[in-house]
Amino acid sequence: MNNIEARFKRIAVKVGSNVVTQSDGSLNIGRMLRIVEDIAVLHKQGIDVILITSGAVAAGRGDVVPLKRTDEVSSKQMWAAIGQVKLMSNYQFLFGKYNILAGQVLAVKESFSDRRHYLNIRNCIDALLDNKVIPVVNENDTVSVSELMFTDNDELSGMISSMMGCGSLIILSNVDGIFTGVPSDENSELIREVGPESDNIEQYIAPVTSGFGRGGMLTKYSIARKLAGEGTHVYIANGTRNSIVTDIVRGKDVPFTHFVATDVEKDNVRKWLSHSEAFAKGAVYVNNGARDALRGEKASSLLLIGVEKIEGFFKKGDIIRILDSNGEQVGIGKSQYDSEKAEKLIGAKRKKPLIYYNYMHIDE
């Protein structure tokens, strides 16, 4: 492993609930140890590894039966509060066997909604990596509810991988990857590679979740395609296989689905924006001339003269959607005005742009 490929110099490893928990919901310490062993080997080789782990709610579920008056959301928050302590203490103990420190990073979706909070998280993880500490990231399920939740930790792992400039994300599930049918069917074949031009892969994926997890293969596929389009390789593999992470890094012939990264890498701001559509506070409708300019080969800012209508209420610095006159989305960007001022300046010339080109993400 002396000649490590560039794509593996910094990686993220996402571990699903169905990998780290047993059928009764208790933590699978033996499986956690195997994953920690893999990460320890890579860590000793000088590879930066960020671990994104699920399992807090599942780990806490078996410890207490909620009272009848405790609603479903509160029950999950309680289980997460109990389970996260168990989850992290076990990771610290297991990494400690290899004289490696592990640091907990709890995130909520809202933490990624503005650039300042986004950079705070990035700086924290950078500091951990610089000091040879393994960042162990999980969603803070004690405070994440309804619309403030990530779809699942696959979405969180995508945001972390993009934010930290990881060359690869390895998503560990309880199957070998994406199949052409039900994985247990002997006639189903593993799809080994998904390239930028691969089409109709979604037809093979059932929109269901399994076990204790909140997400499913469709979410993994969606995140993987987005990351690959940003220049990050993604591998979906079976976390119940021993040494799967090190085998992938070593280039061994093991089963997985590989989403091949494009050659074009986006800058950090555009990576942030590409994962921020859910945080949009309002919208701006643009005329055909502005739409065509934004979609052109030359980078263009959104000028107020090209604006037709402002929708919603937003502050300066908020993320807003860019729509054409038919309501079709063109992209998203960071507004330089609040909605009230932007509405007054519709059609104005010689004013600073509503959205600068370097704070804009145009849909492909």
pTM of the model: 0.85
Q: Going along 3-43, which residue ranges are E strands?
A: 10-15
Q: What angle do CA 5, 7, 11 make, to 5 degrees?
A: 120
Average pLDDT over residues 5-22: 92
For residue 269, which phi and psi values (nearest 5 degrees)?
A: -65, -45
What is the pLDDT at residue 213? 46
Confidence of residue 21 (pLDDT cuts 50, 70, 90): confident
Range with lowest mean pLDDT among 35-39, 98-102, 178-182, 343-347:
178-182
Torsion of CA 89, 94, 100, 101, to 10 degrees: 0
**High-pLDDT (> 70) share of the chain, %:** 94
pLDDT tens digit sequence for 38-66? 999 999 999 999 999 988 888 888 788 88
**What's domain 280-362's superfamily in CATH?**
PUA domain (2.30.130.10)
- Segments of the chain assigned to CATH 2.30.130.10: 280-362
Average pLDDT over residues 136-142: 87
Would you tell me which CATH number, out of the four given (3.40.1160.10, 3.30.1280.10, 3.20.20.70, 1.10.3980.10), belongs to the domain 6-270?
Answer: 3.40.1160.10
Confidence of residue 214 (pLDDT cuts 50, 70, 90): very low
What is the pLDDT at residue 357? 92
Q: Which residue stretches of 193-326 are H helix?
A: 217-230, 244-250, 268-274, 288-295
Average pLDDT over residues 128-154: 81
- Segments of the chain assigned to CATH 3.40.1160.10: 6-270
Please state, in angstroms and rounded to a whole number, the distance separating the CA atoms of residues 229 and 219.
16
pLDDT tens digit sequence for 73-109? 888 889 889 989 999 999 999 999 999 999 999 988 8
The residue type at 35 = I
Average pLDDT over residues 327-347: 94
